[in-house]
Amino acid sequence: MSAISVMIAAGGTGGHLYPGIALAEELMSRGCKVSFAVKKKDLSEAILSDAKIDYDRVPAYPLARRTKYPFDLAVFAAVNVAGVVSALMLLSRRRPSVVVGMGAYVSFPVIVAARLSGIPALIHEQNSVPGLANKVLSAIVGKVALSFPDSARFFNSAKTVVTGNPVRGSLSSAERNPRKFDLDDDKITILIFGGSQGASKINSVALGALKHLGRMKSRIQFLHLAGEADYFRVKEGYAEAGFRAAVFPYLREMGSVYASADLAVCRAGATTVAELAVMGVPAIFVPYPLATADHQTKNAEAHIAAGFLSEIISENYLTPEILAAKMESFALAPSARASVSRSPSAASALADEVIALCGGGQ
């Protein structure tokens, strides 16, 4: 049996990249060779370099769902034609057994090139409502892997399989350690974050909630990833209110962060939802209101429907008073974390589908 070689097209955002890395880790643990195709000047380059995973750059350009400008269409066509040509040369050099697209728009030229080269391909959809790239590419791939069962209605049912959304193995092996963040072991830790850039509205409402939580100072503490823009403002806000808090702009390694949290207040991106499920952390979701097709709300609803202990607050209704009341209610019922079961990692299931698609390396 020859070694299976897999090329993964991913990047653009952590929501597309990190599931790809989780899949790569699982495939490499099985002896597969893995490389990535990423957009030029993408954030993924530094992350993949740190993870010591090979990658190549491919030109790519997104197509807006609605555009009134012929120039956008012209640029999309020109850049992605160049991307397909670049990807064809890359496939000829790398000779992968199978190509996987993780939903980012860099998937478009790479999957098209795979089809032209006769290489089997699979796409993975992280969100409950698929992105435009995956909707288009689903017609030319052999398999469509889904994170949420309800997403099957957007695709040819003969091609779909529900695998869940892969998360990094380092998450599930992390142990609770609030002291790593200079926090107390015996207090309830509330994790607040909004992704790599933070979420200014959540940051502001969380700070406003502190004045309604005065009687809870001895029971709760905060681990807050505020983003670069709000870091100093948030840090000063906790200090002025007299709450124990560890504030960071961003933390790349989230395993110990989730493991040390008793409750999360966050957006509902697909990767965040999957990671909370694997780590068994209950959440107050504040879906990003401008997400395409309101997919973050649908992600959160699917998470709750699956039996995970969480709530949804629309950003339009998020106030300091409401958030404080939710936090206090949770803090007075600290057994809530223990009642949340963990979701199994999807990396193994997705890796099975990738390997099966290329005939198991035969």
Instruction: Tell me the mean pLDDT in the region 27-52.
Output: 92
Residues 9 and 158 in one domain: yes
Residues 153 and 227 in one domain: no
pLDDT bracket for residue 362 (50, 70, 90): very low
Instruction: Tell me the mean pLDDT in the region 329-358.
Output: 78
pLDDT of residue 270: 92
Integer Cα distance of 5 and 21 in angstroms:
15
Instruction: Tell me the mean pLDDT in the region 112-139.
Output: 94
| pTM, entire model | 0.85
User: Residue 155 carries which DSSP code?
Assistant: S
Residues 156 and 271 in one domain: no
Integer Cα distance of 82 and 109 in angstroms:
8
Residues 215 and 296 in one domain: yes
How many CA atoms are closer than 13 Å to the CA of 230, on its beta-carbon side? 25
Is it the case that residue 248 has pLDDT exceeding 90? Answer: yes
For the chain, the residue count is 362
Which positions ≥6 away from 79 have C-beta within 8 Å? Answer: 59, 60, 61
Residues 232 and 281 in one domain: yes
Residues 97 and 214 in one domain: no
Q: Which pLDDT tens digit goes with each residue over 297-329?
A: 999 999 999 888 899 999 999 999 999 999 999
Residues 317 and 351 in one domain: no
Q: Which residue has the tokens 């990671």?
A: 275
Residues 16 and 39 in one domain: yes
Angle subtended by helix axes 270-279 and 295-305, to nearest 10: 20
Residues 190 and 147 in one domain: no
Q: Specify the amino acid at residue 194.
A: G
Q: Specify the amino acid at residue 319.
A: T
Residues 137 and 178 in one domain: no
* Residue 233, phi then psi, degrees to nearest 5: -60, -45
Residues 198 and 332 in one domain: yes
pLDDT bracket for residue 344 (50, 70, 90): low
Residues 182 and 105 in one domain: no
**How many structural domains is the chain composed of?**
2
Query: H or E segment at 225?
Result: strand 220-225
What's the domain range around 131? 5-166+346-361
Is it the case that residue 66 has pLDDT exceeding 70? Answer: no
* CATH number of 325's domain: 3.40.50.2000
Is it the case that residue 196 has pLDDT exceeding 80? Answer: no
Integer Cα distance of 7 and 58 in angstroms:
12
Integer Cα distance of 172 and 327 in angstroms:
25
Instruction: Tell me the mean pLDDT in the region 208-216.
Output: 96
